[in-house]
Amino acid sequence: MMRMVWLDGWLRLGFKKQNYICRIQKYFSDEENKMEKTDRNDHEKMIRRLRKPQGRVDVVIDTDTFNEIDDQYALSYLIRSDEKLDLKAIYAAPFFNEKSDSPADGMEKSYQEIMNILTLLGRDDLKKVVYKGSKEYMPSEEQPVESDAARDLAQRAMEYSQEHPLYVVAIAAITNVASAIRMNPEIIDRIVVVWLGGNAIHWPDNREFNLDQDVAGARIIFGCGVPVVQLPCMGVVSAFSTSGPELEYHLKGKNKLCDYLVDVTIKEAKACGGGEAWTRAIWDVTAVAWLLDGDFMEDCLIHSPIPEYDARYAVDQNRHFIKYVYHVKRDNLFEDLFAKLGK
């Protein structure tokens, strides 16, 4: 009799234990399902935010305009694409190379070159919305660099929403944009960043000028959850190049702006050792073109890469999506660019 009581108690205890384990397993299964559902919802929301915009949209541009001639083309192209793009502000970005004494000097020279391009375009009305950017790169991934440009973006973006975002065309070191995000993280849900920076995923290294100047800023942009459209330089946008004869044929003599662009492009090409048969990539135009309605490029979704400090990408398939441009339709885009600049 005692054996039967003991056995009955043991079975009851075992049943309770098994029931308890089943309840724990169900709890974790439910939690995993919730997490998976949350992840799916987050991915779906990001994918929606990365779609090309329909209709006219508000844009700001962040540019190191004195660094290379492609910035002047891009700024002019954006302003001449006002059927689609409503330019709200222009930010001067830092750069440091043989054309500047420091990042601060590069930013100041870019600011003056922006003013020069606006004069050539006959758009003095836009000079009141040109802002000076940072004088240095981000010292760490946590510390922003305060500037008029970063403060304007941090404040201006608050007027927008996920459904109606502000598009940030970034064609320089990403310091101003990353600083604005660190200053006011709420703008992550109110902007879409279209950045020409980094090299293609398949490229042997990631030593690209815009990214390499401020890796900390790039890691913020790719990691904070802001929607990003990446236009990689080497391996993708490097195909978007032109030559002296082509520029002279399509732009020379059209107007003051076109003559200036042609002359400076030829001068820079020769300074860089170009012979009689040189070509030059007009990189930054592609970032503007992604927002337009023309058939200019092909893109896809990839998980956000991680720019490392050793000029490589790290990959994590659990990260959020970005839009990645993998092909530029060179002829289509140049046709539209030449037509708009020459009008």
Q: Is residue 176 scored above 50 in pLDDT?
A: yes
Amino acid 56: pLDDT = 97
- Taking only the tens place, the pLDDT of each residue in 272-322 is 766 677 899 999 999 999 999 999 999 999 999 999 999 999 999 999 999
Confidence class for position 29, pLDDT limits 50, 70, 90: low
pLDDT given at position 18: 56
In this structure, the number of other CB atoms found within 10 A of the CB of residue 39 comes to 12
DSSP one-letter string for 217-249: HHHHHHHS---EEEE-TTTTGGG-EEEHHHHHH
Question: Taking 80 as the threshold, does the pLDDT of residue 125 lie above it?
Answer: yes
- Report the C-alpha gap between 237 and 283 in whole angstroms: 6
Q: Where are the domains of the chain?
A: 1-49, 56-341
| Of residues 3 and 200, more confidently modeled | 200
pTM above 0.85, yes or no: yes
**Residue 169 clears pLDDT 80, i.e. is over it:** yes
Mean pLDDT of 55-84: 97
- Mean pLDDT over each residue of the chain, to the nearest integer: 91
Q: Which listed CATH number (3.40.630.30, 3.90.245.10, 3.30.1180.10, 3.40.50.1370) goes with 56-341?
A: 3.90.245.10
Provide mean pLDDT across the span 89-109.
97
Average pLDDT over residues 108-127: 98
Query: Quick check: helix, strand or coil at residue 258?
Result: helix
The pLDDT value recorded for residue 5 is 46
Contact 199, 228 (CB under 8 A): no
